[in-house]
Structure 1
């Protein structure tokens, strides 16, 4: 052995099993012109980087 000995380390890991929620500004109406769809993602536990 070369003396490379270290004590054991224990870490707690939490895994978020809840999927993020995505909502949009879409309605159930017909559109006959261009419009912009806005998506909003939320996650109360881990946050969301993008959707």
Structure 2
């Protein structure tokens, strides 16, 4: 966290989630679930921290 410049652990969690989604898109990782279902799952996750 310190190396990435994040003082609050919650911001690192958010960054990690966004980075993972970005990498999946960059690598064209195929998903078998409907995109709307995936979006709903992400929205239902509790906020970090």
Q: Which has the larger radius of gyration?
A: 1
Q: TM-score, normalised by structure 1?
A: 0.15
**Whose RCO is larger (CA < 8 A, sep 6+)?**
2
Which one has a larger percent strand, Structure 1 or Structure 2? 1
Which one has a larger percent helix, Structure 1 or Structure 2? 2
Q: TM-score, normalised by structure 2?
A: 0.15
